[in-house]
Structure 1
Amino acid sequence: MIKNGLLRLAILLLYLISLLPFWLLYIISDFLYILIYYIVHYRRRVVKENLKNSFPEKSKAELKVIEKQFFRYFADFIVETVKAISISEKELRRRVVLTNPEVMDNYYAQGRSIIAVGGHYCNWELAGLNFYFYTDKKFMIVYKPLSNAIFDKFFYRIRSRFGTIPVSMRQTLRKVIEVKNELSAIALLGDQTPSREEVNQFVEFLNQPTPVFLGIEKLAMSTDSVVVYYDMKRIKRGYYSYTLIPLFEEPKKTAPLEITKTHVKHLEDIIKQEPQYWLWSHRRWKFKPEDLN
């Protein structure tokens, strides 16, 4: 009971912080960067190892620059995500813009539903909130539930604020079957890490064999939905754009692993352009092929 009370108090505090203007939140972010990087050393070893293995061609000095850039952005990501608790639709529309909504409209006009693939790149949480503004169809985002029920419910409410339907990973197929007779869009992160029991396929990603989920590929082929990638870019502090890039219009005609390898490669190319905006603190490579034999 005491623990739950403290969690609810923490949620109230986060809500109050979210009411602060962006300029003040970014001052907090500057201090947060110093705290997590220089004092707490939050996952610095994980980030350093991930960067070293992903970019063997880069010098220590180059990797150090990316490392610091990542943590600076990570602090911004935290305060921006807190802001999502109370951000208005007007403010969100102003700060996050879809550059080509006509892509979605054209597929809907053809009677096609859409699977939008992204990654833990830039502020994917703001993109998930914003995407719904550009469609009058059902829009779902797939998420991995948190272990704490109170925080999981809290984030569910945030993600569904403007009409988006959050769907837990284990319920994805069931939810898609429910809406199979109507046009819809569903967004998934293609760089989630499977649990040890779920690992059954590796692909090459950032110079390393990487375990992947095949759910996007299976979902696309079973529903014959168009697969697009939402390519998000940071314009400046607190402002983003994202563009829908068609990957597969006829998924049933693809070869095994073709869809998976393509969206993984697309994310890799994006990361190589501006690596500081990917979630390097994520333990993406905790499973290796030799560990599972």
Structure 2
Amino acid sequence: MNLSNRIVSFSILLISLLPFWCLYFLSNILFVTLYYIIGYRKQVVRENLLAAFPNKQKKERELIAKKFYIFLADMILETIKMKSISAEEVKKRIKLNNPEEVYIHLNANRPVMGITGHYGNWELGIHRLSLMTDNPVLIIYKPLTNKGFEKIFNEIRTRFGAFMVPMKQTFRQILSYRDKPHISMFLSDQTPARSESNYFTPFLGQETLMFQGVEKIAQSTNFPVVYCHIDRIRRGYYECTFTTLFDNSKATATHEITSSHVKFLENIIYQKPELWLWSHRRWKHKPIT
């Protein structure tokens, strides 16, 4: 790790030691900076909201955008807090509504394929998932270009025992754990490169290119597919609800698993759109006609 990355890592540690009330004071400043001063990806956010909500008035979309930036600032500071947060505080901050939905599979010696999206605080969710079971927890992620930053954030994510698995190693790693109960967690709304997928499905009103890895692995292994919905109750507090989408994955039709978990996330976003990552360039690929 070079000097600049060491400075970043040390700065994250120092900020993470601040109490939550102080972090949210900083978050208020960060929101003003992102939204009013530098306008971080404002055009992307507006284009995405227009694509997803063409029937809403402009002022309605602007309100969603503003709420999104408020939440984004909070999430950035909460993610930094993950560097030093205690296990007890994590459990306090994310309530598990129905962990038995996952335990029923693990106790039957069945690995679980978990799915979530860039919704709520999915980063803090890594800590909570790691603390809910003694079984291995694999977090499938898309590697960053900056390997120093990737190392910093993966060290934070794995504090409570999670294993970070680069996307290209997913199948091999999951197969190496296939004979023991474990959880593999995927982000369902990652954007594939055009060479990585050719499957488009409707999502938020747009034909959207989707990874099919979850479906292919689930069908080949017959692992159950469970959705993890992290919702925000109030500032700094979340609840997680698990839903088994498919118990017998081998019996599903082609694209059934993919289209189902995409639709599940879409319905969640429509309920509280400000909690989704609207600054993500999600629709840069279009179907070839």
Take 2:105 and 2:176, find their aligned partners in 1: how far apart are those partners? 20
Cα displacement string for residues 218-272 of structure 1 (whole angstroms, at most 9, x for unaligned residues): 1111111000101111011100010110100001000000000000000000000
The count of residues paired between Structure 1 and Structure 2 equals 289
Q: CA deviation at 1:111?
A: 2.6
Q: Which residue of 2 aligns with 1:58?
A: 56
Q: Which residue of 1 aligns with 2:3?
A: 5
Q: Which residue of 2 aligns with 1:71?
A: 69
Q: Which residue of 2 aligns with 1:17?
A: 15
Q: CA deviation at 1:206?
A: 0.3
Cα displacement string for residues 6-41 of structure 1 (whole angstroms, at most 9, x for unaligned residues): 222122111111110110000000010000111111
SS of aligned partner of 1:234: strand
TM-score by length of 2: 0.98
Q: Which residue of 1 aligns with 2:192?
A: 194
Q: CA deviation at 1:199?
A: 3.1
Take 2:71 and 2:164, find their aligned partners in 1: how far apart are those partners? 25
Q: CA deviation at 1:211?
A: 0.4
1:218 aligns with 2:216: yes
Q: CA deviation at 1:109?
A: 2.7
TM-score by length of 1: 0.96
1:182 aligns with 2:180: yes
Map 1:1-293 → 2, pairs under 5 A? 4-290=2-288
Take 1:107 and 1:198, find their aligned partners in 2: how far apart are those partners? 30
Take 1:15 and 1:197, find their aligned partners in 2: how far apart are those partners? 38
Take 1:42 and 1:112, find their aligned partners in 2: how far apart are those partners? 43
Root-mean-square deviation (Å)? 1.1
Q: CA deviation at 1:105?
A: 1.6
Q: CA deviation at 1:158?
A: 0.9
Take 1:188 and 1:145, find their aligned partners in 2: how far apart are those partners? 13
1:244 aligned partner, one-letter code: F
Say if 2:112 and 2:226, in contact at 8 Å, map to a contact too.
yes
Aligned-residue identity in percent: 47
Take 2:63 and 2:55, find their aligned partners in 1: how far apart are those partners? 14
Structure 1 stretch 76-85 or stretch 8-17: which is displaced more?
Answer: 8-17
Cα displacement string for residues 257-291 of structure 1 (whole angstroms, at most 9, x for unaligned residues): 0000000000000000000000000000011114x
